[in-house]
Amino acid sequence: MGSGNDNPFLSPQPLELRGKPISIRYGHGNSAVSESFRLCHGPVTKIANTTRMMPGEIQLDAVGHTFPSGTRALQNVTLSLDSLRFTALIGRSGAGKSTLLRILNGLVRPSEGAVWVRGVNLAAADHATVRVWRRQVGMVFQQFGLVRRLSGLENVLLGRLGYLSPWRTTLRLYPRADREFAMALLERVGLADQAWQRADTLSGGQQQRVAIARALAQRPRLILADEPVSALDPQSAEQVMDLLRAIHLEDNIAVVANLHSLDTVRAYADRVIALQGGRLLFDGPPDVLTDDVTRELYYADEPASLLRR
């Protein structure tokens, strides 16, 4: 490497990677190891869950959540998720969308109700059980959530951490199959050429595609995207939404995306879940999301003068 940079994944690589041997150094100092492999293509990048997530596999039953501060973020939310429909989550700021996503991936334990995942209630499950679920849930955030100083490839590999043994986790020693898989995922999202580039030098759209590749590295059953395109220009936003939709269709992965633009919702979603003040206001296809519902959703309690604008 010789650049004074000790990140083993930041070595410069030829731009055309297809079919050529790739060499990677990993580990640090005296324990650093080099190896070569050829980039795998095709089916290896597909997660291809053999079974679709059917309605009922994830079921929220009268879920409510009050934060220790006393803020009641969710009330009596009952719904079921599946991988049959690309699901959009909408609602005003503070409606409880992010809290709902955090409850779905087990980050937040709801203070009321049950979150059933394949017959297990996450709200009452032990930490080990929640951990096993969490590694099957890929998260995508508005601000990407990448480790800025690591390369795109190493960020994708972070998606494998939940599957490593403790000693491999400590040393971040990823099995060869994981490294090949991560590289192939970067190829799938169109970023193989940027694999060794530091994450903070990538454009916003590229960073979000790395984040999606990282989510895919988890081999997820469910991807939760919290405002995935809010920080992106329209063209990058379209690329990211197209990618999420393709993943949903090709890999049988359930996707729930919290979106602010109703145009994006109408262009991509098959199902819309709308929250208002922590309660479920609407759950149905976007074509029956009438003006009355959107007015109620976004402008209820606003002064009448705002409504007339």
Ligand X SMILES: Nc1ncnc2c1ncn2[C@@H]1O[C@H](COP(=O)(O)OP(=O)(O)OP(=O)(O)O)[C@@H](O)[C@H]1O
Instruction: Select 98 or 194, whichever has its Cβ closest to ligand X.
Output: 98
Residues of this chain that interact with ligand X (CB under 6 A) are 67, 69, 71, 73, 91, 93-99
Binds Mg ion by CB under 5 A, chosen from 59, 75, 83, 98: 98
For the CB of residue 224, give the shortest distance to Mg ion in the complex, in Å.
11
Residue 234: alpha-carbon gap to chain centroid:
20
Partner interacting with residue 95 (select from ligand X, Mg ion, none; CB below 5-8 Å by kind): ligand X
Which residues does 306 contact at the CB level (< 8 Å), separation at least 6? 299
**Binding segment (CB under 5 A) for Mg ion, from list 59-67, 94-102, 195-203, 271-279:** 94-102
- Minimum distance of Mg ion from residue 98's CB (angstroms): 3
236 binds Mg ion (CB under 5 A): no
Could you tell me which stretch among 37-45, 55-63, 96-104, 287-295 binds Mg ion (CB under 5 A)?
96-104
Nearer to Mg ion, 224 or 254 (CB): 224
Q: Which is nearer to ligand X, 108 or 183 (CB)?
A: 108
Residue 101 CB, nearest approach to Mg ion (Å): 8
* φ, ψ of residue 170 in degrees (nearest 5): -60, -45
| Least CB distance to ligand X at residue 235 (A) | 23
Q: Least distance (Å) from ligand X to the CB of residue 214?
A: 21
Q: What angle do CA 119, 224, 79 make, to 5 degrees?
A: 45
Alpha helix stretches (DSSP H) within 66-203 = 97-104, 127-134, 152-158, 166-171, 176-188
Non-local (6+) Cβ contacts of 233 within 8 A are: 204, 205
- The amino acid sitting at 159 is G
Smaller CB distance to ligand X: residue 98 or 239? 98
Of 179, 139, 136, 177, the closest CA to residue 157 belongs to 179
Residue number, 183 or 265, with CB nearest to Mg ion = 265
Report, in this order, helix, strand and coil percent for the chain, each rounded to 5.
Answer: 35, 25, 40
How far apart CA 72 and CA 46 sit, in angstroms, is 40
